Amino acid sequence: NAGVTQTPKFRVLKTGQSMTLLCAQDMNHEYMYWYRQDPGMGLRLIHYSVGEGTTAKGEVPDGYNVSRLKKQNFLLGLESAAPSQTSVYFCASSPGPPLYSNQPQHFGDGTRLSIL
Amino acid sequence: GDSVTQMEGPVTLSEEAFLTINCTYTATGYPSLFWYVQYPGEGLQLLLKATKADDKGSNKGFEATYRKETTSFHLEKGSVQVSDSAVYFCALSDRGQGAQKLVFGQGTRLTINP
């Protein structure tokens, strides 16, 4: 059972470079999320999607863009990477709203991103 | 807005000790409450949940009771094991637009020594 798969697992970028993080889920979930995890800050929501073709801003969306062209994939883009975006990024998916789900969110193993 | 506050870590205990990790919340409505656990190098996994006041969630020997009067959802375990070493996150999901999202606390790192 693959669940939620994030690609890549590690990446080092230089300031100003761009990249895309890929999240894929095989559970036919409608909802998908991107978080960043920083020491002492917990998980902060960057963007999320409630279905194919939809996206919405979370708590810390600046500097990131997302796309959900296919139900199973949720892409997170950094157009011009900055050192402040050094973090561990987690993708999650859920069958519906966490409030009404027995399994609120399934998480990937994370992508560790360093911006020099 | 909604928020979750957890006790400061890290927490270090000896095996078989009693564990409490405090969690309090602020929400505009009547949220559902969750505890997630993150083992080293992995993503978060749901540990337990409670959807209404006085509900008790339990799993793997861990328990937490939804206390509306004190807006709390403290995590407890009677006898911890080395394998319980992890980071624990309290989270909530509120009604309305907030129902689509989880709001997480900052996490509490737990280390159990043999």
The CA distances from residue A8 to A36, A88, B17, B57, in Å, are 15, 12, 39, 35
With 0-12 CB in 10 A as exposed, 13-18 as middle and 19+ as buried, what is A74? buried
Chain B nearest CA to A40, separation (Å): 6
Number of C-beta neighbours around residue A32 at 10 A: 29
Q: Which chain A residues are within 8 Å of B44, Cβ to Cβ?
A: 43, 90, 92, 105, 107
Chain B nearest CA to A33, separation (Å): 9
Q: Which residue has the higher pLDDT, B65 or A2?
A: B65
The residues, any chain, with a CB within 8 Å of residue A39's CB and separated by 6 or more, are none
Cβ B93–A98 below 8 Å, yes or no? yes
Among chain A, residues having any CB pair with chain B shorter than 8 Å are: 4, 31, 33, 40-45, 48, 50, 56, 58, 90, 92, 97-100, 103-105, 107-110
Residue B2 has what pLDDT? Answer: 86
Of B89, B100, B104, the CB nearest to A97: B100
Across residues B53-79, what is the average pLDDT?
A: 96
Across residues A64-90, what is the average pLDDT?
A: 96
pLDDT in tens, B38-51: 998 888 999 999 98
pLDDT at A52 over 80: yes
pLDDT at B98 over 90: no
pLDDT in tens, A14-32: 999 999 999 999 999 999 9
Residue B95: band (very low, low, confident or very high) from pLDDT cuts 50, 70, 90: confident
pLDDT at B7 over 90: no
Residue B77 has what pLDDT? Answer: 98
Cβ atoms of B91 and B33 within 8 Å: the answer is yes
Assigned token pair, A17:
């470079």
Cβ atoms of A56 and A82 within 8 Å: the answer is no
- Chain B: residue whose CA lies nearest to A47: B101
Across residues A9-17, what is the average pLDDT?
A: 96
Q: Chain A neighbours among B 23-82 (CB < 8 Å)?
A: 31-32, 34, 41-46, 49
Cβ A97–B99 below 8 Å, yes or no? yes
% pLDDT > 90, chain B = 75
